[in-house]
Amino acid sequence: MSRLPRIVVVLLATVAVAGCGSSSKAGSSSPRQQVLLYLAAFNRGDGKAACALLTPQARAGVPHLSDKLASPDCEGAIKELSLLSERLRSPTITIREQGDQAVARIRNKRPPYQSDVLLDNKGGGWQIAYPPAVLERYKSPPGIKSELK
């Protein structure tokens, strides 16, 4: 068994329909740009910027993504998740648009990763309705010792 950290994908369980606030970044770009902005904000642990890109329903779901989160709000939960997560070094993003919805598929080789992101374009701009999965870092799977004797 390898001693490298194992990657566990934690699916984000948030679903949304409507648009949100008036941040200059939120809803102002293409679906691809919105996903890139979200990934950059997430990697920085910038909860305010990341949450501004989400629909209200998606923001409400973020604090419930992991039992490890102590923060009751989106911004704090993003900061905590960012500390627990692997970084995507050079993701490939493909977009499929249909009407007022788009699906962005994010792929990464190192670490290995694939996740879909649902975006809605209601109220004049694209927002993330279902954010990408989070890669949590573990030295070994929960409950299993990382070194054999």
Q: State the residue range of the domain holding 105.
A: 6-138
In a domain? residue 143 = no
Percentage of the chain with pLDDT > 70?
72
pLDDT tens, residue by residue, 41-88: 999 999 999 999 999 999 999 998 888 899 999 999 999 999 988 888
DSSP secondary structure, the chain, as one string: ---SPEEEEE-------S-----SSTTSS-HHHHHHHHHHHHHHT-HHHHHHTB-HHHHHHGGGS-TT---SSHHHHHHHHHHHBPPPSS-EEEEEEETTEEEEEEEETTTTEEEEEEEEE-SSSEEEEEPPPEEEEESSSTTS-SS--
**Structure tokens that stand for 15 in this block:** 């679903």
Q: How confident is the model at residue 111 (pLDDT cuts 50, 70, 90)?
A: confident
In a domain? residue 107 = yes
Q: What CATH code is carried by the domain that includes residue 30?
A: 3.10.450
Number of domains into which the chain is organized: 1
pLDDT at 124 over 80: no
Cα(56)–Cα(18) distance, integer angstroms: 7
In a domain? residue 148 = no
Look at residue 81 in the predicted model and tell me its pLDDT: 93
Look at residue 138 in the predicted model and tell me its pLDDT: 56
pLDDT tens, residue by residue, 15-51: 222 233 334 344 458 999 999 999 999 999 999 999 9
pLDDT at 13 over 80: no
For the chain, the first-to-last Cα distance in angstroms comes to 13
